[in-house]
Amino acid sequence: EVQLVESGGGVVRPGGSLRLSCVASGFTFDDYAMSWVRQAPGKGPEWVSSISWNGGSIGYADSVKGRFTISRDNTKNSLFLQMNSLRAEDTALYHCVRVYTGSYYLAFDIWGQGTMVIVSS
């Protein structure tokens, strides 16, 4: 069964840090680019960051650039998101997502259930 399982969420004060992890199973992890997508309570999905299969290409949403760092360890089928200088507006459910892409499309075909991050004083 293809599966993505996130961990590492929690409650953190503004300005604090958290490191999210995602473990993949059921597919060849290093065949795929991966992403983090978040959903604030009651809101739609927001793309956060993506990383290519070998980590050679990385992108961030403007809202997190300079504060968040995406990485992966293909030997452990794992994806990470280091989040620093957290703000209240970063409060959301963070999903680990598999990227399925072609020349003219970008799709997120497998989603984890997410890990909740709450930034509050």
The contact set with another protein (CB under 8 A) reads 35, 44-47, 50, 59, 61, 95, 100, 102, 104-109, 111-114
Cβ proximity to another protein, 72 vs 98, nearer residue: 98
Cβ proximity to another protein, 42 vs 121, nearer residue: 42
Cβ proximity to another protein, 13 vs 104, nearer residue: 104
* Minimum gap (Å) between residue 97 Cβ and another protein: 9
Q: How far apart are the first and last CA of the chain?
A: 39
For residues 111 and 3, is the Cβ–Cβ distance under 8 A? no
Q: Which two tokens stand for residue 85?
A: 């200088």
* Minimum gap (Å) between residue 40 Cβ and another protein: 12
Dist CA 49 CA 118 (whole Å): 19
Q: For residue 100, which amino acid is it?
A: Y
